Structure 1
Amino acid sequence: MAEHLTETDVRSIAEYSCIGLTAEEVVAMTADLNAIIDSLAPITEYNLEGVPPTFHPIGDLANVMRDDVEVPGFTQQEALMNAPKQEDGSFLIPSILGEGGDR
């Protein structure tokens, strides 16, 4: 296995990514990353002469999002219709902080 990344490289990547690694983890991560890079070696065996690079797998795909269309929403009464508890036009839910009870 060739060494594509050094431990210094892995430390720099970890620091840039804000990942704390111990000395043992740096050694293990260096070996793992180099093994991953080596596993991609068969790709280099393909003859790609004259094949243009593809930057997006779907080619010239444009923005396919639909236009925002305003639609009517629920009324307050419809929204509260199935609420187990309600008070003054709002949902009444169990408290998760403090002394408990509904809030």
Structure 2
Amino acid sequence: MSKKSLKLCPLAQHIVRMLAESGRPGHGPSYANGKAFELHGLSTNDVLVWAGRMLDSRNQGELVDVIRKASGRDLDAADLAAAARVGVAVGALPSIDLLELLL
């Protein structure tokens, strides 16, 4: 039986890798695989909102460390939480029809 290939944005890939490599009780490859299915097909914005809601503070801190190393920019867990809140707010706004604006 072939494994279904999951579509994960780069942020989701970092989260899954981080959870798979974690030595915390209850974490590891099988836990990360379950989370990968939750993150499958989500946009980066949706993954960010998911991380803000679903990851505990320790995992959020580890994710911030991964992002900091990958981007070379200074940020902390409060920045991640703020970005997730903005993502929720933007998602709640009605979509803008550009054609309607032009007419």
Q: Same fold (TM over 0.5)?
A: no
Higher normalized contact order (CA 8 Å, seq sep 6+, divided by chain length) = 2
- TM-score (norm: length of structure 2): 0.29
| Greater helix content | 2
